[in-house]
Amino acid sequence: MTIALEVKDLKKSFGGVAVTQSVNLQVMPGERRLIIGPNGAGKTTLFAQITGDLLPDSGQVFLYGKNMIGQPVHNRAHLGMSRTYQIITLFSKDSLAHNVVLSLLGIHKRKNQIFKGLPANDPIYDEAIELLDSVGLKAQAHRRVTEISYGEQRRVEIALALAQKPKVLLLDEPLAGLSRDERVLVADLIKSISKETAIVMIEHDMDVALAFAEKILVLQYGKVIVDGDRDTVVNDPKVQEVYLGH
Ligand SMILES: Nc1ncnc2c1ncn2[C@@H]1O[C@H](COP(=O)(O)OP(=O)(O)OP(=O)(O)O)[C@@H](O)[C@H]1O
């Protein structure tokens, strides 16, 4: 089977400090993969190199066998790689529907229309409303981002990522800053995403994260210290020592 996402020997340093040290990762189609590690372990930096937000010093990233190095972020999105950010990145003064439309247009043949304006009855709005419905926000579609809760904003972000029909979706701490109730809603939403999409998630909420993941990669100081199934990782003495504090 073709590997959905493959990272080979990825390396990155900032000012002489190695924050990604020969990282290898293989994610199969439809897989649910978790990345954990203490603060500063290099999780977000790894994501940024996978999506093209940051150039690695060396190493390779493949999406369904196609080399991504040298491909800008928007090309990677076109080829099927979407991400959400640790800090929410929505157009806050726009409506939810408009945010989703922009994301849809980003992968659309008509993407130049972002600059030309769209008629209010354009069918792309129906598509946006459908996507908002899939994250439970249809009723809020015409409200501004600033008028909805933080948890709802997280759900809009997931709708934006899904608008790109990704083969691989990278979620950077999707539950961070959410209340207990919101966490349940967003975790359920993530669980409901179709298996046509492989998901790689960075998450600190261990209860949710362990329930979600089939395989877990543990990073420390930019190095992979364990990569395996839930039991292997939870029972690994290195993980217990450095991450779980046992
Ligand atoms: N642009 C940058 N310039 C210099 N150092 C950076 C830069 N980005 C990240 N770092 C450093 O790289 C290391 C890894 O950071 P990163 O944000 O990837 O860790 P993380 O595992 O995602 O942490 P957290 O769980 O706190 O989000 C940290 O020491 C951070 O200070």
| Domains of the chain, start order | 5-242 (3.40.50.300)
pLDDT at res. 112:
56
Ligand 1 centroid – CA 39 distance (Å): 8
Ligand 1 centroid – CA 136 distance (Å): 33
Residue whose tokens read 């493949």? 62
**Contact (Cβ atoms closer than 8 angstroms) between residue 178 and residue 186:** yes
Q: Is the pLDDT of residue 76 over 70?
A: yes
Mutate to test the pocket of ligand 1, among 13, 14, 21 (most ligand atoms within 8 A of CB): 14
pLDDT at res. 244:
57
Which of 20-24, 82-86, 173-177, 214-218 ranks highest by mean pLDDT? 20-24
Evaluate: CB of 44 within 6 angstroms of ligand 1.
Answer: yes
Report d(CA 48, CA 34) in Å as an integer: 16
pLDDT band at 139 (very low <50, low <70, confident <90, very high): very high
Evaluate: CB of 41 within 6 angstroms of ligand 1.
Answer: yes
